């Protein structure tokens, strides 16, 4: 089963192919994608790599985390699963938001 990894602090010039090649040196890569801004098409400085096996994913984390890729020290970690997007609807806060720092509108970063 494929294992998805988060790759942060990417150089804004890094491409999907560059990311794929860097991780292929460690193990079998299923896919690699640099995330871009919808409006500008410019890199957002992070991406995701799917490794074919759990062993390849762990090897990639151990060997590539805190290493240089195109002049930047990248961060490699297991990707968090996407939050469930069902049931929110327009204006919904998704439950009890008392005590949250962002006022319940979901503005926090999740990595």
Alpha carbon distance 62, 76 (integer Å):
8
State if pTM tops 0.85. Answer: no
Look at residue 9 in the predicted model and tell me its pLDDT: 98
3-44+53-76 carries CATH number 3.30.70.330: yes
Question: Which residues, in sequence order, are bridge partners of residue 47?
Answer: 7, 34
Domain map of the chain by residue range?
Answer: 3-44+53-76
Higher pLDDT, 83 or 100: 83
65-78 pLDDT tens trace: 999 999 999 999 99
Rounded-to-integer distance, Cα 50 and Cα 105, Å: 30
> pLDDT of 1-33, one tens digit each?
789 999 999 999 999 999 999 999 999 999 999
């Amino acid at each position: 089963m494929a294992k998805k990894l988060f790759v942060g602090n990417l150089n804004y010039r890094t491409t999907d192919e560059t990311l794929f090649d860097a991780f292929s040196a460690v193990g079998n890569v299923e896919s690699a994608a640099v995330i871009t801004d919808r409006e500008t098409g410019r890199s957002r400085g992070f991406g995701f790599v799917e490794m074919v096996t759990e062993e390849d994913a762990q090897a990639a984390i151990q060997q590539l985390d805190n290493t240089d890729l195109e002049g930047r020290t990248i961060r490699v970690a297991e990707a968090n699963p996407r939050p469930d997007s069902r049931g929110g609807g327009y204006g919904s806060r998704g439950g009890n938001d008392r005590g949250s720092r962002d006022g319940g509108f979901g503005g926090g970063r999740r990595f």
